[in-house]
Amino acid sequence: MRLDFPATSRNSAPILEVLTDVLPDEGLLLELASGSGQHAAAFAPRLPRLRLQPSDPDPRHRASIDAWCAGLPNVARAIELDVREPWPLTAADAVVCINMVHIAPWSCAEALVAGAASILPRGGVLYLYGPFKRDGRHTSPSNARFDEGLRARDPSWGVRDLEAVSALASAVGLALERTVEMPANNLSVVLRMG
């Protein structure tokens, strides 16, 4: 049942380093588009006072998440959640979304930001991870090639402009707190609810 995404294994430790600095000490952490479940399984032991709620719209992914996280006391069973549909949760202390914004239509980024703003408390964090353009330009030749490949697979996908995502967030009360350069030309983007 366990899916194995090699990039997830490679980026878990650097992502966790940022998360431990920006997440609350306790409460509910909603992970959107949890994929294989490897991130939740890696993060849960290092965030023991947070309750992790993984989610994914794909039933194969939800089965994999549950397989990876079996026996972890602070991880709930994966729930079905498509950001464009009504969310099954009404509150969370933090929302994490890793590698989704570029592998989805722009409407998903809009729904993600609006949905997170609707359930986060004042001071709550929305954390995004992935490749982003800066000022409309790719940050590396490899990201430009990756973007071309994404758009060839689906014209509605693609590496998004950080400023466009930040503007979406600002419109619903989420302020860009910081960006952190990560391995493989990715960024950690920390947005905080005002």
pLDDT in tens, 127-150: 999 999 999 999 999 999 999 999
Per-residue model confidence (pLDDT) at position 93: 98
Q: In this structure, is residue 1 part of a structural domain? A: no
Domain count, the chain: 1
Q: Residue 165: pLDDT band by 50, 70, 90 thresholds?
A: very high
3-state secondary structure of 141: helix
Cα 59 to Cα 23, 64, 164, distances in angstroms: 28, 9, 31
Q: In this structure, is residue 37 part of a structural domain? A: yes
Strands 94-98, 50-54: pairing is: unpaired
- What would the pLDDT profile of 38-87 be if each residue is shown by its tens digit? 999 999 999 999 999 999 999 999 999 999 999 999 999 999 999 999 99
Q: Residue 31: pLDDT band by 50, 70, 90 thresholds?
A: very high
The CATH number linked to 124 is 3.40.50.150
Q: In this structure, is residue 150 part of a structural domain? A: yes
- What would the pLDDT profile of 74-103 be if each residue is shown by its tens digit? 999 999 999 999 999 999 999 999 999 999
Q: In this structure, is residue 149 part of a structural domain? A: yes
pTM more than 0.85: yes
Per-residue model confidence (pLDDT) at position 126: 98
Per-residue model confidence (pLDDT) at position 105: 98
Dig out the tokens for 193 from the structure: 């609810």
**Helix and strand numbers, DSSP H then E, in the chain:** 6, 8
Q: In this structure, is residue 116 part of a structural domain? A: yes
Per-residue model confidence (pLDDT) at position 134: 96
Per-residue model confidence (pLDDT) at position 42: 97
CA atoms of 158 and 52, how far apart (whole Å): 28
List, edge to edge, every strand of the sheet that includes 94-98: 50-54, 27-32, 94-98, 125-130, 186-193, 174-182
Average pLDDT of the chain, as a whole number: 97
Phi, psi angles (nearest 5°) of residue 88: -75, -5
Per-residue model confidence (pLDDT) at position 138: 97
Mean pLDDT of the region 164-175: 98
Segments forming the whole domain that contains residue 22: 6-193
Per-residue model confidence (pLDDT) at position 99: 96
Q: Residue 9: pLDDT band by 50, 70, 90 thresholds?
A: confident
Per-residue model confidence (pLDDT) at position 7: 87
Q: In this structure, is residue 57 part of a structural domain? A: yes
% of the chain surpassing 90 pLDDT: 97
